[in-house]
């Protein structure tokens, strides 16, 4: 059994899947398996996956006869593997070649969810400036505090990407998947909040996950309604999650969450300008 299983749920990922798989196979830590579940893609995803499965026997490819939905596909790749460590991979991301070598030993030693650092890229694959770049994704301390610290952090600082860290397998439970599939779009954030009941999230090393942004809408495309601040802070979802102690604590600290969502970006820009001015 390899040390870590990498689960890759994919649907119509042909444009970027080759880059993703090449970054996995280029890892300096080589004791892994890759399990790909193709959610009945209609593009060239199948041909790409079959090619990589032929050239590397650590890759297993399964094609779903019908689309089972994103949440079920995430669960499928987890349940069809059995290594003591597990990592989800998005088909349009890639990782530095030392991602596994830096994070796997820490996950084993600490028995925690471990993450490196984030680098946002454009849909075309170019580096882009973003407030989430290089942030330490770390939520430690007591069970309640680490859950609150995670819940209170503005979503635009990249916290949902911890789902692509490395998990000790026992951390992810049936309840975790029920939460993932039951909370809609923020299901990954809610699932991670649930996992923080059991272990902390630790930021390890300098290795980067390159997260691809959605394509920019073309001119004349009608934009979607901007979510309210209550939707962006996921108030309804957090108030439906977890034990009463978490709900009451989150509600009492919600004004801080609102302030961070509204003003933290401006504060970070102001601090950045001061820092640049001090170096001149």
CA 262 to chain centre: 23
Instruction: Mention every residue, 6+ apart, whose C-beta is less than 8 A from residue 125.
Output: 16, 19, 212
Write down the pLDDT at residue 280: 53
Nearest in space to 32 (alpha carbons), one of 71, 73, 89? 89
pLDDT digits (tens, 9 = 90+) for 175-187: 999 999 999 889 9
Measured CA to CA, the distance from residue 234 to residue 37 in angstroms comes to 29
Which CATH architecture fits 1-91? Alpha-Beta Complex (3.90)
pLDDT band, residue 263 (cuts 50/70/90): confident
The string over 167-177, giving b where at least 16 C-beta atoms fall within 10 Å of a residue's C-beta and e elsewhere, is bbeebbeeebb
* Domain segments of the chain as ranges: 1-91, 93-215+228-274
35 in Cβ contact with 10 (< 8 Å): no
- Of 265 and 160, the structure prediction assigns the larger pLDDT to 160
- Give helix 244-279 / helix 143-152 axis angle, nearest 10°: 60
Write down the pLDDT at residue 149: 97
Measured CA to CA, the distance from residue 193 to residue 2 in angstroms comes to 28
Per-residue DSSP letter, 240: T
Measured CA to CA, the distance from residue 208 to residue 211 in angstroms comes to 9
pLDDT band, residue 120 (cuts 50/70/90): very high
At residue 222, does pLDDT exceed 70?
Answer: no
17 in Cβ contact with 48 (< 8 Å): yes
E strands, the chain, are: 4-10, 32-38, 59-63, 85-88, 94-95, 113-121, 166-168, 201-212
Q: Which of 169-173, 256-260, 266-270 has the highest mean pLDDT?
A: 169-173
Write down the pLDDT at residue 227: 86
Q: Please compute the mean of the pLDDT values over residues 201-228 and round it to a whole number.
A: 83
Nearest in space to 102 (alpha carbons), one of 208, 211, 210, 25? 208
pLDDT digits (tens, 9 = 90+) for 61-104: 999 999 999 999 999 999 999 999 999 999 999 999 999 999 99
pLDDT digits (tens, 9 = 90+) for 6-55: 999 999 999 999 999 999 999 999 999 999 999 999 999 999 999 999 99
How big is the chain by its Cα radius of gyration, in Å? Answer: 19
């Amino acid at each position: 059994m390899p040390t870590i299983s990498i689960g890759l749920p994919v649907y119509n990922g042909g444009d970027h899947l080759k880059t993703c798989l090449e970054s996995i196979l280029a890892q300096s830590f080589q004791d892994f398996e890759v399990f790909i579940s193709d959610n009945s893609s209609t593009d060239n995803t199948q041909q790409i996956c079959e090619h990589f499965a032929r050239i590397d026997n650590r890759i297993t490819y399964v094609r779903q006869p019908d689309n089972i939905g994103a949440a079920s596909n995430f669960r499928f790749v987890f349940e069809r593997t059995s290594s003591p460590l597990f990592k989800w991979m998005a088909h349009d991301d890639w990782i530095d070649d030392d991602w596994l070598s830096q994070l796997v030993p820490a996950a084993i030693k600490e028995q925690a969810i471990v993450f490196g650092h984030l680098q946002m890229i454009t849909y075309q694959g170019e580096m882009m400036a973003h407030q989430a770049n290089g942030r330490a994704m770390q939520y430690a301390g007591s069970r309640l505090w680490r859950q609150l610290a995670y819940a209170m952090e503005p979503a635009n600082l990249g916290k949902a990407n911890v789902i692509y860290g490395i998990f000790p397998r026992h951390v992810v439970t049936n309840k975790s998947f029920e939460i993932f599939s039951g909370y809609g779009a923020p299901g990954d954030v809610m699932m991670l909040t649930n996992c923080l009941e059991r272990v902390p999230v630790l930021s390890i090393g300098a290795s980067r996950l390159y997260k691809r942004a959605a394509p920019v809408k073309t001119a004349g495309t009608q934009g979607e309604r901007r979510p309210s601040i209550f939707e962006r802070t996921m108030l309804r979802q957090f108030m439906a999650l977890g034990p009463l102690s978490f709900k009451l604590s989150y509600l009492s600290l919600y004004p801080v969450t609102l302030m961070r969502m509204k003003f933290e970006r401006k504060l970070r820009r102001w601090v950045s300008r001061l820092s640049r001015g001090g170096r001149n």
